Amino acid sequence: MDELGIGYLMFSLFIIFVVIATANTVGHGILYLLAIIFAIIALALVAGMNWADSILYPAAMKLLGISVEPAKGYHVPKSQDAIVKNVNGLFYATGYLTGNVFAYRFKQESIGEDEDQQMADAPERWERTVMNIKFPFKFHIISAGREVQKVRDELEGKRSYQEYQLSRLMQSNSSNEMAITDIQRKIRMFQTQIDRIAQGEKPIASLMYVETTAVGVSEKAAVDLLSEQLRELQVSLSVLDLQMSRIVGRELYTIFKFNFAVPLTEASIASEFDRQG
């Protein structure tokens, strides 16, 4: 979470805690209980909007039946999972999937010996996947080169912090095997990334997403067909070790804007990188 997010969270939590602390001014009976219940609901909503807004926001919009027009001619239905355009009575619904290019974090722990073999197989696997897809789709990768020294320093800092955590855990009497293994795994992961840079690999930040469009004679028909296509893409792309999840809520608007302008700096897509692991 960034500084701004922490600031927003602190102010909001402060108000809720003041309400809880002063709830007894409404008495000690049922009214007090009601005040506390509402404060707890507010606390849950704030926590939900902070950590799970991609679930909470579409649910709220669906419940309230609110649709959004993000630009002229486009429309986001209340389910907040598609962008719909009506062209002469035909409805075009567009949806997105995003995922991690390196789906399994374990892969980052060691430089695989069979990496060359995997790379040699990749073109054929890709071609076979595309051949099985019988509807229009777009596969995008936004990449930006990162400063080598800065990335190396960051990784070394992270590795040092994990090493410090590990030594503290080793010294403590209640050593937790699971926690030690986890920290050791993280250290190996950072070390592998440092090694890769030392071997001459250029660090890049990347954001990958897949887009598909479905057509229907009604909005519902188009959105239903879109969901079907997205599910099919999820299955097809799993062959490439890609775990894809459907984009809903506010990220839908961000990705929709990418259609008309690619992000200008690495920092402007940093929040999207978080989601990509």
Partner 1 sequence: MIAMDKSMPLFLGLILVSAVFLVLAEAMPASIVTVYGKLVLLILSLGFDVLAFSSRHYSQIIGHMLKHPGKHVVLSKEEPYWISPSADSILRREGEDFIATVYVRIPLYKSATEMNPEEALQFSKQVSSMVGLNRDPIRYSVQLSLMNKDTYLQQVRDMINKSEASEAQAMEANSDQAAIERSKGGTAMWKRMLDNASKTQSLELITYASISAMGSKEFEAVSAAQQRAREIIAGVGTIFGISPTFITGDQLKSFIDPEYVIPTATVSEHMNAEMREEVI
Q: Smallest Cα–Cα separation from 238: which of 94, 142, 103, 143?
A: 103
Nearer Cβ to partner 1, position 114 or 177?
114
Q: Smallest Cα–Cα separation from 99: which of 268, 251, 229, 258?
A: 251
The C-alpha atoms of residue 255 and residue 264 are separated, in whole angstroms, by 14
Least distance in angstroms from the C-beta of 159 to partner 1? 23
Tokens representing residue 198 in the block? 């030392």
Least distance in angstroms from the C-beta of 110 to partner 1? 19
Tokens representing residue 114 in the block? 């069979």
Nearer Cβ to partner 1, position 185 or 196?
196
Cβ 118 vs Cβ 112: under 8 Å: yes
Least distance in angstroms from the C-beta of 34 to partner 1? 6
The C-alpha atoms of residue 227 and residue 240 are separated, in whole angstroms, by 21
Least distance in angstroms from the C-beta of 15 to partner 1? 4
Nearer Cβ to partner 1, position 55 or 262?
262
Least distance in angstroms from the C-beta of 191 to partner 1? 21
DSSP labels, 214-248: EEESSHHHHHHHHHHHHHHHHHHHGGGT-EEEE--
Nearer Cβ to partner 1, position 160 or 268?
268
Nearer Cβ to partner 1, position 23 or 187?
23
Cβ 66 vs Cβ 32: under 8 Å: no
